[in-house]
Structure 1
């Protein structure tokens, strides 16, 4: 089971990946939105801001997200590490219920470019 340090490292790597992206992925990541990632098996929430193509100002707190972010993810720590590491595909993980993604319709339309 991935621990909190591994999950934070995965989110930092995701931020780097987004920052180095090109084309449609870069434009999708250029949104300015609040973001939470609830690690269900650790009952830990990482919060930050998707801004300028990166996830910025990442903090962590115990439990479920206290505030409703504009983009909300929920998954296990192992799934987060595997997604960022390219060992599982986001679309299949989402379709099977391993990853939950909630956002407004406009944000979902932009985020689909990341998939």
Structure 2
């Protein structure tokens, strides 16, 4: 099981990977959304925001407005690290039940194009 620090580092790397996506692609596929990433085996949830300029750094404090995030990801700590490192395919992880994404169908299609 990966630690909270390893998960935090993986999310920092994910933010950096989103920064590398071509600005035109982001403009075409990104709609501003709030995001949560619940690491199921550690009992911790990280919160961020996806927008045209990229992905804001994840924090452990929920949004002050109290609203549910638009996109909710649930994943185990080892799978989060493996996914960000490119060792785990998102589609296979979804089909295998290792990752759960709760989002609108449109958001799922947009995210698929970016990941």
TM-score by length of 2: 0.84
What runs of 5+ residues in structure 2 fail to find an aligned partner? Answer: none
CA distance in structure 2 between the partners assigned to 1:72 and 1:5 by the alignment:
20
CA distance in structure 1 between the partners assigned to 2:79 and 2:29 by the alignment:
21
Which has the higher mean CA deviation after the structures are superposed, 16-25 or 99-108? 16-25
Tell me the residue number matched to 1:90.
90
CA distance in structure 2 between the partners assigned to 1:55 and 1:20 by the alignment:
11
**Paired residues, number:** 112
Question: Alignment RMSD, CA only?
Answer: 2.3
CA distance in structure 1 between the partners assigned to 2:81 and 2:52 by the alignment:
23
Tell me the residue number matched to 1:109.
109
Match of 2:15, SS?
A: helix
Runs of 4+ in structure 1 off by over 6 angstroms are none
Match of 2:56, SS?
A: strand
What runs of 5+ residues in structure 1 fail to find an aligned partner? Answer: none
Note closer, same or farther for the CA distance 1:29–1:44 as it changes in structure 2 (3 Å cut): farther
Alignment of 1:32-51 (within 5 A): 32-51=32-51
User: Contact 1:19–1:26 at 8 Å: present in 2 too?
Assistant: no
Note closer, same or farther for the CA distance 1:58–1:29 as it changes in structure 2 (3 Å cut): farther
